[in-house]
Amino acid sequence: MKLLQCPINGIRPLSEFTYGGEYRDMPNPDTCSDKEWAAYVHYRHGAPGVKKEWWYHGPSGTWFIAERDTMADKVVRTYIAGQEEAK
Amino acid sequence: MPLGLLKYGLSKEHPAPRFFRDCTQPKKSYDAVIIGGGGHGLAAAYYLAKDYGITNVAVLEKGYIGGGNTGRNTTIVRSNYLTPEGVNFYDASVKMYEDLSEELDLNLFYSTRGHFTLAHTESAMRTMRWRAEVNKHVGVESYVVGPDEISKACPQLDIQCSGQAPILGALYHAPGSVARHDAVAWGYAKEADRMGVEIFQMTEVTGIDVKSGKVVGVNTSKGYIETNRVLSAVAGFTPRITDMVDIDTPIVIHPLQACVSEPMKPWLDTILVSGSLHVYVSQSSRGELVMGSSLDPYEVHSTRSSLDFVEGLTSHIVDMFPFLSNVKVVRQWAGMADLTPDFAPVMGKTPVEGFYLDAGWGTWGFKATPISGKTMAETIARDVAPDLIQPFRLSRFEDYELTGEKGAASVGH
């Protein structure tokens, strides 16, 4: 992967992007237990597969979602968070 | 002479000595199964046999021994870490390394070179002083030196770094060493095998059988093996193994790349590291410069290497040593580093009875090979983790008791 499709700016070189980690749902801090919160803060799903990840396009300041196969390092698709269906 | 040598080499009377038996089919059951035939797994097997007399042990390796991160690191051994628990742990490892060639009856080319961690900024100098004080307190020989002393030890180094990042000083660590990494795996394999441990190459673990919270066996590409003790020592494959027993860990996998230059006459005696320039470099006994850099910036489960890495690394190497601009890079490779959020390993017992973890070795695993083998052997034999590795227990994350180890390689301060 040397190029990445930014949902706003199209295909750009990878050097313009920053990896933001896996997309994860935050548990409600008011209702979850300390253990659940610790798991959210520290634990990650480390095994390979097609993962939903945050990526950031630096020059335009765009955060978006990329679905990427972390074994083959191939991006399946990219979209702005919440606009998955529109794509 | 060459013809005579060839005749000798092909003669059946003088077969090449084998380091360990050629095991093909595992037995029905073992007292312990070790997943991963790298330095850590083989060292654990060796100390299980030597210290505790547990020799009915199988080491399962899906490739060939020492072909993973044991053979992919930049071979640096040191103990100048930042936290007292880290310094104590790695210092125990350095002390074991110093006598290891004799113990394993194999020349590991262990070479004490002295290790400089260069500081290019005031804030880096502050961290160096901090590390030096922690080291001295624990009894490890580290102290802060100025540019003059660095130049004296390595006159080839451009102290101004081509004007880009002038060197203000360094943390000097006298016991810093390099060793031949694959020999470490081979030495442990040879001695473990001699005491009865069976080593299976090209044998992949496909599942771990857990019944009512206890390990009862492992499924492998060569059939089912009964056992109630399993050690996972698989570095970059750790999340795939922990998924088999349903254990959550903070481990994520990023590639760590390295390369070597063409061989030169010996000129670089010391080991040089720069956190700011993301460089570590030493000269091997073959004369190649062994160079490493920071981690790849995003998760990938493969050992592919990239041009970006060589471009970035060599531009910084040339800042330090302008005369190397005409020297060629001859090989590059990558290893899959299993990273933790506090730059310390995950070692010891897990919520699954009989399943032990030796993981989270990120960029700091090779130097810990002897001590991790010894402490994991104790953990398996007694089912209690020794005090030395208690700070690295898996449950520290749930207890919010992280170690805060920032002395790991490739970390800029």
In a domain, A34, yes or no: yes
Q: DSSP letters of B268-321? A: --SEEEETTTTEEEEE-TTSPEEEEEEEPSS---S----HHHHHHHHHHHHHH-
pLDDT at B264: 97
Provide, as residue numbers in chain B, all residues whose Cβ is less than 8 Å from the Cβ of A4: none
pLDDT at A5: 96
Q: DSSP letters of B203-233? A: --EEEEEEETTEEEEEEETTEEEE-S-EEE-
pLDDT at B11: 84
SS3 content of chain A, % helix, strand, coil (to 5): 15, 45, 45
Q: Contact, A75 vs A38, CB < 8 A?
A: no
Mean pLDDT for the stretch of residues A27-50: 96
Q: Contact, B370 vs B101, CB < 8 A?
A: no
In a domain, A87, yes or no: no
Edge-first strand listing for the sheet containing B271-274 = B142-145, B169-173, B115-119, B271-274, B279-283, B289-295, B252-261, B329-339
B298, A19: Cβ pair inside 8 Å?
yes
pLDDT at B413: 35
Backbone angles phi, psi at A74, to 5 degrees: -120, 135
Long-range CB contact pairs, B134-137, < 8 A, 24+ = B134/B81, B134/B82, B134/B83, B134/B84, B134/B87, B135/B79, B135/B80, B135/B81, B135/B87, B135/B173, B137/B84
pLDDT at A84: 81
Exposure b/e, B345-368, CB count within 10 A at least 16 = b: bbbbbbebebbbbbbbbbbbbbbb
In a domain, A86, yes or no: no
Strands B57-60 and B198-200 come out as parallel
In a domain, A85, yes or no: no
pLDDT in tens, B294-315: 899 999 999 999 998 999 999 9
Mean pLDDT for the stretch of residues B58-71: 96
**Closest chain B C-alpha to A87 CA, distance in angstroms:** 25
Residue A86 has pLDDT above 90, yes or no: no
Provide the β-strand partners of residue B290.
B260, B282
CB atoms under 10 Å from CB of B180, counted, come to 19
In a domain, A73, yes or no: yes
Residue type, A60: S
In chain B the domains, ranked by start, together with CATH numbers, are: 112-175+252-339 (3.30.9.10)
Give how far the C-alpha of residue B353 lies from the chain's centroid of Cα atoms, to the nearest Å: 27
Give how far Cα A50 sits from Cα of A5, A23, B247, B297, B314, Å: 17, 12, 20, 18, 33
Spell out the residues 6+ positions from residue B311 whose beta carbon is closer than 8 angstroms to its own.
none
- Cβ burial of B329 (10 Å; 0-12, 13-18, 19+) is middle
* Among B43, B41, B48, B53, residue whose Cα is nearest residue B201: B41
Nearest CA in chain A to B249: A43
d(CA B402, CA B395): 10
Residue B221 has pLDDT above 70, yes or no: yes
**Any idea what the CATH number is for the domain that residue A26 is in?**
3.30.2270.10
- Residue B200's SS3 state is strand
Average pLDDT over chain B reads 94
Which tokens hold the place of A1? 């992967």
Provide, as residue numbers in chain B, all residues whose Cβ is less than 8 Å from the Cβ of A78: none
Q: Total structural domains in chain A?
A: 1
CA torsion sign, B279 to B280 to B282 to B288? negative
pLDDT at B13: 85
Q: Where is mean pLDDT largest: B126-130, B191-195, B305-309?
A: B191-195
Give how far Cα B325 sits from Cα of B74, B259, B312, B315, Å: 21, 15, 13, 9
Average pLDDT over chain A reads 94
Provide, as residue numbers in chain B, all residues whose Cβ is less than 8 Å from the Cβ of A48: 239-240, 253, 301
pLDDT at A56: 98
A18 interface with B at CB cutoff 8 Å: yes
d(CA B289, CA B179): 14
**Containing structural domain, residue A33:** 3-79
- Cβ burial of B7 (10 Å; 0-12, 13-18, 19+) is exposed
DSSP state of B238: H
A35 interface with B at CB cutoff 8 Å: yes
Provide, as residue numbers in chain A, all residues whose Cβ is less than 8 Å from the Cβ of B252: 44, 46
A46, B308: Cβ pair inside 8 Å?
no
Q: What is the pTM of this model?
A: 0.94
In a domain, A14, yes or no: yes
The interface predicted TM-score of the complex, written ipTM, equals 0.94
B240, A48: Cβ pair inside 8 Å?
yes
A73, B240: Cβ pair inside 8 Å?
no
Provide the β-strand partners of residue B246.
none
pLDDT category at B14 given cuts 50, 70, 90 is: confident
